């Protein structure tokens, strides 16, 4: 781990696996029929959201029920800027990221004094405030109905090149690019000195403090990273699907990443992706059969906690691949 | 009314932690289990209390098989347990903790009187939250709570851990007072000197086996065994 | 020891109350550089509270803590570690799900993570070297790849000491280090502490009188939140109050 002799071959396997996953997703776009093509693009962005969530839950050990506010901070900052000001795509993304980071810093400074159940409740409360604020200012935000951005989303510009974001292939690959960056970020966290401190905080926060680490500052760092990634996902979502709406700030969108992460395996790099994909397809299949698909969501959460406490990838790590980060 | 273990084998998952352990205890006697951490001493006590079900072997109290019973039924038969780490209810007061003991098998005022005679400081602490007491005081409450059930047998897991010398002496006196009242005590200890002061019989455990079982005098005259299993250097006495 | 030299650590009128309970009452405590000092006393005397006040885990309700001439009362615990005040827990508190090597690695890296760049990467050789030194000193070098939670308790205690050593202590505060150890493990730990005292000042809470008498040059006795006696082991053993209150003699 810290410079042990076995580090190089293990690093090879780790990078190999993750590059293979990315390559698989890259190649999949040429094989998928249109419906699934769009689904996978959606899954990849939501998986990015879950990856952000996992940075806080899986790697720092803090469970929040308020991440919808970070996702929708990114979404609204980008979406409203595009809608009202016609900003470019890249500017939109930067704004979204900045908004999420700013929000994470403020929320962190207030809520990180608490931990455990108190933290859960406090983050949920702040997310509710955010949600209600979006409804309150519905003249600007469109509230529940939301705003449709079709036609207003500018194309991506690279010098003289222009790429319309409405094209399915562009959506897919932009989502894949963002997912890749965030997967690599998580990998970095697991291997870097700062990331190891976060893991130490998860394992034994008191001990970590008495080793000389400023635990509050590291938790704040984790929350900012987590919020930034979640906000980025929200930003990209709005650019690709041309829509902002209050529903994304609601409690359900705080529960989803928790469920996806737990199901896929908290504290694993690939867990959030696996969990998001699995859950999205399960919900999709069951909504074809019944209107009460939320029942399925609840049942999945309960079964997951009872039988798969470490999630799919956590189980894989325990049974077969102990080197899985 | 003897308490016997016969060829008890226990395992956690795939790991066997007790191998064919056989022990016997009579009322009014003190049996000391000695051994390093991980030797299986705590598991032995937990097996008697029904917290761990043996894979093989039997544990009997006056002929009645304990391994068939549910854990909460065993204290009702007169076997009380003071676990390592005490197991107090930290948010309840001292008095409430003691009452929990009385609820199991209420014996009323005379039991409490005798217990307060043993541990006078508890009378002053009755209204205090158990979690705010010092380690030694918590040990007293845990022991007192077990005694509230007026047991025939008392199982104690490292009761002197963290206690100051005066309290260690006090606790050993308590064990002897219990012995005089006819209570049988099974005592798990790391402090060999303390153990040998009160024990009638001693069992040396190592990696789940009972390596040596004999009277206190016998083990005291065998320093080689003590050295081998505990790393303790003593003169033969 | 020089006759008049500034103490390493001093507490002035240090007090700590928990609600109505005065755990530490106006304690004036002084520790000189290079000492091995034991704090003994009945359960509930305030020994651990005093240690927690010194290490920063608790804030005093009055009084101050002075370390190397500086008032550190307002400094949080993690800052005090950087100053050299290192604490080991009464009940062993290691990272059970991490390897022995990673446990000590975390302690080592704190020293090496001086700037923002070091949060990205640190020279693995530097870390591995110091980890090895600390493990070797306590005798756990062979166990470095084991998960800390699977070590026997005595070895977990040694791991804690290794982590403390890796933190470059100048004042090492040990809270009942022999608790839960077998007799030969205690002997080994006493020898290790004596060795560490060559480079660090040791402050230790202990109930094991044999270890206290073997190790300490001076003993401080606390009862009911105050210091009731201080002196050499011989003086303390002869003290009638201490005998009555603590030793049971």
In chain C, what percentage of residues exceed pLDDT 70?
98
Chain C hits for B167, Cβ within 8 Å: 42-43, 248
Q: What is the dihedral of CA C122, C124, C127, C130, to 10 degrees?
A: -150
| Subunit contact A1:C125, Cβ cutoff 8 A | no
* DSSP per residue, chain C: --SS---SEEEEEEEEEETTEEEEEEEEEEE-TT-EEEEE--TTSSHHHHHHHHHTSS--SEEEEEETTEE-TTS-HHHHHHHTEEEE-SS----TTSBHHHHHHHHHHHHH--SGGGGT---HHHHHHHHHHHHHHHT-GGGTTSBGGGS-HHHHHHHHHHHHHHT--SEEEEESTTTT--HHHHHHHHHHHHHHTTTSEEEEE---HHHHHHH-SEEEEEETTEEEEEE-HHHHHH-HHHIIIII--
- C98 and B CB contact within 8 Å: no
Q: Which of these ranges, B213-222, C32-41, C51-60, has the smallest mean pLDDT?
A: B213-222
| Radius of gyration for the alpha carbons in chain C, expressed in angstroms and rounded | 18
Query: Domain of A56?
Result: 19-250
Chain A hits for C123, Cβ within 8 Å: 3
Q: How many domains does chain A have?
A: 1
Q: How far, rounded to the nearest angstrom, does the alpha carbon of residue C223 sit from its chain's CA centroid?
A: 20
d(CA A123, CA A18): 32
Comparing alpha-carbon positions, the chain C residue that sits nearest to A217 is C78
Please compute the mean of the pLDDT values over residues A185-197 and round it to a whole number: 89
Is residue A278's pLDDT more than 90? yes
Please compute the mean of the pLDDT values over residues B76-97 and round it to a whole number: 88
Q: How far, rounded to the nearest angstrom, does the alpha carbon of residue B176 sit from its chain's CA centroid?
A: 13
On whether the CB atoms of residues A140 and A252 are closer than 8 A, the answer is no
Q: Where residue A159 falls among pLDDT bands split at 50, 70, 90?
A: low
| Subunit contact C118:A7, Cβ cutoff 8 A | no
Please compute the mean of the pLDDT values over residues A220-224 and round it to a whole number: 96
Please compute the mean of the pLDDT values over residues B80-85 and round it to a whole number: 88
Q: What is the pLDDT of residue B120?
A: 82
Query: Is A154 inside any structural domain?
Result: yes
Chain B hits for C176, Cβ within 8 Å: 162
* d(CA A205, nearest CA chain C) in Å: 10
- The H or E element that residue B226 is part of is helix B223-230
Is residue A33's pLDDT more than 80? yes
* d(CA B81, nearest CA chain C) in Å: 19
Q: What is the pLDDT of residue B138?
A: 87
Please compute the mean of the pLDDT values over residues A285-307 and round it to a whole number: 83
In chain B, what percentage of residues exceed pLDDT 90?
33
Query: Is A305 inside any structural domain?
Result: no
Query: Is A290 inside any structural domain?
Result: no
Comparing alpha-carbon positions, the chain C residue that sits nearest to A197 is C106
On whether the CB atoms of residues B39 and B207 are closer than 8 A, the answer is yes
Query: Is A282 inside any structural domain?
Result: no
Q: Give the Cβ contact number of residue A316 at 10 Å.
A: 18
Q: What is the pLDDT of residue A291?
A: 82
| Radius of gyration for the alpha carbons in chain A, expressed in angstroms and rounded | 19
Please compute the mean of the pLDDT values over residues A106-129 and round it to a whole number: 96
In chain A, what percentage of residues exceed pLDDT 70?
96
Q: What is the pLDDT of residue C1?
A: 47
On whether the CB atoms of residues C15 and C24 are closer than 8 A, the answer is yes
Query: Is A277 inside any structural domain?
Result: no
Please compute the mean of the pLDDT values over residues C211-227 and round it to a whole number: 93
Is C238 exposed, middle or buried (CB count within 10 Å of its CB: 0-12, 13-18, 19+)?
exposed
Which chains have at least 3 CB atom pairs separated by less than 8 Å from chain B?
C
Highest mean pLDDT among A96-105, B133-142, B169-178, B188-197: A96-105
HSE at residue A225, side-chain half, CA atoms within 13 A, is 23
The pLDDT tens digits of the residues spanning B191-233 come to: 888 888 899 999 999 889 998 888 988 888 887 777 777 777 6
HSE at residue B23, side-chain half, CA atoms within 13 A, is 35
Q: Of C72, C79, C88, C95, which to mutate for an interface test with A (greatest number of A Cβ within 10 Å)?
A: C95
Tokens of C211: 């270890």
Q: Of B134, B161, B163, B171, which to mutate for an interface test with C (greatest number of C Cβ within 10 Å)?
A: B134
Cα-Cα-Cα-Cα dihedral sign, residues C98, C102, C107, C110: negative
Catalogue the long-range contacts made by A16-22 (C-beta closer than 8 Å, 24 or more residues apart): A17/A270, A17/A324, A18/A183, A18/A184, A18/A187, A18/A269, A18/A270, A21/A183, A21/A270, A21/A273, A22/A176, A22/A179, A22/A180, A22/A183
Comparing alpha-carbon positions, the chain A residue that sits nearest to C148 is A203
Closest partner residue to A213 (CB to CB) among C96, C102, C110 is C110
Closest partner residue to C247 (CB to CB) among B134, B166, B190 is B166
Is residue A4's pLDDT more than 50? no
- The H or E element that residue B11 is part of is strand B3-12
| Subunit contact C43:B231, Cβ cutoff 8 A | no
d(CA B20, CA B33): 15
Q: Which of these ranges, A68-72, A123-127, B116-120, B148-152, has the smallest mean pLDDT?
A: B116-120
Q: What is the pLDDT of residue B108?
A: 63
> Which residues, numbered 2 to 31 in chain C, qualify as contacts with chain B under a Cβ-Cβ cut-off of 8 Å?
18, 21
On whether the CB atoms of residues A71 and A234 are closer than 8 A, the answer is yes
Tokens of A259: 């469920």
Is residue B8's pLDDT more than 90? yes
| Residues comprising chain A, all counted | 325
- C44 and B CB contact within 8 Å: yes
Select the more confidently predicted residue: A68 or B15: A68
Q: What pTM does this model have?
A: 0.86
- B7 and C CB contact within 8 Å: no
| Subunit contact A193:C113, Cβ cutoff 8 A | yes
On whether the CB atoms of residues C168 and C199 are closer than 8 A, the answer is no
Please compute the mean of the pLDDT values over residues B14-33 and round it to a whole number: 92
Are chains A and B touching, using the cut-off of 8 Å on CB pairs and a minimum of 3 such pairs? no
d(CA B88, CA C156): 25
Q: Where residue A164 falls among pLDDT bands split at 50, 70, 90?
A: confident
The pLDDT tens digits of the residues spanning C184-201 come to: 889 999 999 999 999 999
Q: Give the Cβ contact number of residue A213 at 10 Å.
A: 24
Please compute the mean of the pLDDT values over residues B182-191 and round it to a whole number: 91
Chain C hits for A213, Cβ within 8 Å: 78, 110
Cα-Cα-Cα-Cα dihedral sign, residues C118, C119, C125, C126: positive
Is C202 exposed, middle or buried (CB count within 10 Å of its CB: 0-12, 13-18, 19+)?
buried
Set out the domains of chain B in order of their start, with CATH numbers.
1-78+153-237 (3.40.50.300), 89-150 (no CATH)
Comparing alpha-carbon positions, the chain C residue that sits nearest to B164 is C207
Q: Determine phi and psi for A194, rounding to 5 degrees.
A: -65, -40
Please compute the mean of the pLDDT values over residues B54-73 and round it to a whole number: 90
Q: Of C44, C188, C224, C236, which to mutate for an interface test with B (greatest number of B Cβ within 10 Å)?
A: C44
| Subunit contact C82:A200, Cβ cutoff 8 A | no
* Pairing assessment for the beta strands A243-244 and B3-12 based on DSSP bridges: unpaired
Q: Where residue A307 falls among pLDDT bands split at 50, 70, 90?
A: confident
Asked if the interface predicted TM-score (ipTM) of this complex is over 0.85, the answer is: yes
d(CA B74, CA B155): 12
Q: What is the pLDDT of residue A1?
A: 37
* d(CA C108, nearest CA chain B) in Å: 29
* d(CA A197, nearest CA chain C) in Å: 7
Q: What is the pLDDT of residue A2?
A: 37
- Mean of the per-residue pLDDT values of chain A: 90
Chain B hits for C182, Cβ within 8 Å: 36-37, 190, 230-232
Q: What is the pLDDT of residue C107?
A: 96
d(CA A182, CA A184): 5
Closest partner residue to B170 (CB to CB) among C179, C209, C248 is C248
In chain B, what percentage of residues exceed pLDDT 70?
95
- A196 and C CB contact within 8 Å: yes
Give CA angle at C48 (C44, C54), nearest 5°. Answer: 140
Residue C86's nearest CA partner among C63, C99, C101, C67 is: C67
Q: Which of these ranges, A1-10, A71-80, B158-167, C110-119, has the smallest mean pLDDT?
A: A1-10
Q: Is B160 helix (H, G, I), strand (E, B) or coil?
A: coil
| Subunit contact C78:A206, Cβ cutoff 8 A | no
Q: Where residue B235 falls among pLDDT bands split at 50, 70, 90?
A: low
On whether the CB atoms of residues A33 and A214 are closer than 8 A, the answer is no
Query: Is A7 inside any structural domain?
Result: no
The pLDDT tens digits of the residues spanning B127-141 come to: 888 888 877 788 889
């Amino acid at each position: 781990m810290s410079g042990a002799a076995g580090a190089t071959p293990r690093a090879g396997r780790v990078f190999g696996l993750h590059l293979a996953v990315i390559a698989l997703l890259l190649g999949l776009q040429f094989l998928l029929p249109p419906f699934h093509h769009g689904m996978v693009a959606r899954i990849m962005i939501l998986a990015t959201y879950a990856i952000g969530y996992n940075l806080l839950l899986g790697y720092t050990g803090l469970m929040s029920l308020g991440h919808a506010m970070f996702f929708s901070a990114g979404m609204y900052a980008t979406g409203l800027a595009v809608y009202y000001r016609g900003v470019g795509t890249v500017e939109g993304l930067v704004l979204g990221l900045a908004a999420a980071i700013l929000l994470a810093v403020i929320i962190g400074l207030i809520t990180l004094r608490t931990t455990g159940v108190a933290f859960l409740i406090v983050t949920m409360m702040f997310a509710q405030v955010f949600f209600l604020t979006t409804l309150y200012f519905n003249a600007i935000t469109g509230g529940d109905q939301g705003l449709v951005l079709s036609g207003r989303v500018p194309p991506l510009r690279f010098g003289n090149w222009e790429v319309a974001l409405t094209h399915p292939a562009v959506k897919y690959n932009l989502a894949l690019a963002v997912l890749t960056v965030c997967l690599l970020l998580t990998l970095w966290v697991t291997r870097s000195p700062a990331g190891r401190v976060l893991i130490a905080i998860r394992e034994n926060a008191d001990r970590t403090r008495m080793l000389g680490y400023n635990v509050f500052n590291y938790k704040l760092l984790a929350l900012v990273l987590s919020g930034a990634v979640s906000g980025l996902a929200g930003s990209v979502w709005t650019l690709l699907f041309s829509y902002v709406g209050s529903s994304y700030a609601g409690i359900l969108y705080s529960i989803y990443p928790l469920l996806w992460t737990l199901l896929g395996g908290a504290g694993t790099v690939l867990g959030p992706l696996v969990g998001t994909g699995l859950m999205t397809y399960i919900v999709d299949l069951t909504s074809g059969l019944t209107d009460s698909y939320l029942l399925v969501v609840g049942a999945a959460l309960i079964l997951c906690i009872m039988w798969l406490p470490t999630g799919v990838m956590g189980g894989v790590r325990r049974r077969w691949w102990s080197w899985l980060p | 009314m003897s308490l016997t273990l016969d060829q008890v084998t226990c395992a956690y998952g795939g790991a066997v932690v007790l191998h064919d352990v056989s022990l016997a205890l009579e009322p009014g006697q003190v049996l000391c289990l000695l051994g390093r951490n991980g030797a299986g001493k705590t598991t032995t006590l937990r097996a008697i209390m029904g917290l761990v079900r043996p894979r093989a072997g039997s544990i009997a109290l006056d002929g009645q098989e304990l391994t068939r019973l549910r854990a909460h039924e065993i204290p009702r038969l007169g076997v009380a347990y003071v676990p390592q780490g005490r197991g107090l209810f930290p948010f309840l007061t001292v008095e409430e903790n003691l009452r929990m003991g009385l609820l199991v098998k209420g014996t009323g005022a005379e039991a409490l009187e005798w217990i307060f005679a043993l541990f006078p400081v508890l009378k002053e602490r009755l209204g205090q939250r158990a979690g705010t007491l010092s380690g030694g005081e918590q040990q007293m409450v845990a022991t007192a709570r077990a005694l509230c059930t007026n047991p025939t047998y008392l199982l104690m897991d490292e009761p002197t851990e963290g206690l100051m010398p005066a309290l260690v002496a006090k606790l050993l006196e308590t064990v002897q007072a219990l012995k005089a009242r006819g209570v049988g005590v099974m005592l798990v200890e790391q402090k060999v000197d303390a153990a040998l002061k009160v024990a009638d019989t001693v069992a040396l455990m190592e990696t789940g086996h009972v390596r040596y079982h004999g009277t206190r005098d016998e083990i005291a005259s065998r320093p080689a065994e003590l050295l081998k299993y505990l790393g303790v250097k003593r003169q033969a006495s | 020891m020089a006759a008049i030299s500034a103490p390493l650590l001093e507490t002035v009128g240090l007090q700590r109350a928990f609600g109505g309970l005065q755990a530490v009452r106006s304690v004036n405590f002084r520790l000189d550089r290079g000492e091995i000092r034991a704090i003994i006393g009945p359960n509930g005397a305030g020994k651990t509270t005093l240690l927690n006040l010194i290490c920063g885990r608790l804030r005093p309700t009055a009084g101050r803590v002075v370390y190397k001439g500086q008032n550190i009362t307002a400094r949080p615990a993690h800052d005090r570690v950087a100053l050299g005040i290192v604490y080991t827990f009464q009940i062993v508190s290691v990272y059970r799900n991490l390897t022995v090597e990673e446990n000590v690695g975390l302690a080592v890296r704190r020293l090496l993570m001086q700037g923002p760049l070091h949060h990205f990467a640190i020279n693995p050789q530097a870390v591995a070297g110091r980890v090895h030194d600390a493990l070797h000193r306590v005798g756990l070098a062979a166990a470095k790849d084991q998960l800390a939670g699977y070590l026997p308790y005595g070895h977990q205690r040694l791991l804690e000491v290794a982590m403390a050593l890796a933190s470059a202590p100048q004042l090492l505060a040990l809270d009942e280090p022999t608790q839960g150890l077998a007799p030969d493990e205690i002997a080994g730990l006493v020898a290790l502490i004596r060795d560490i005292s060559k480079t660090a000042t040791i402050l230790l809470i202990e109930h094991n009188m044999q270890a206290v008498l073997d190790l300490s040059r001076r003993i401080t006795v606390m009862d009911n939140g105050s210091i009731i006696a201080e002196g050499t082991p011989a003086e303390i053993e002869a003290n009638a109050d201490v005998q009555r209150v603590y030793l049971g003699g």
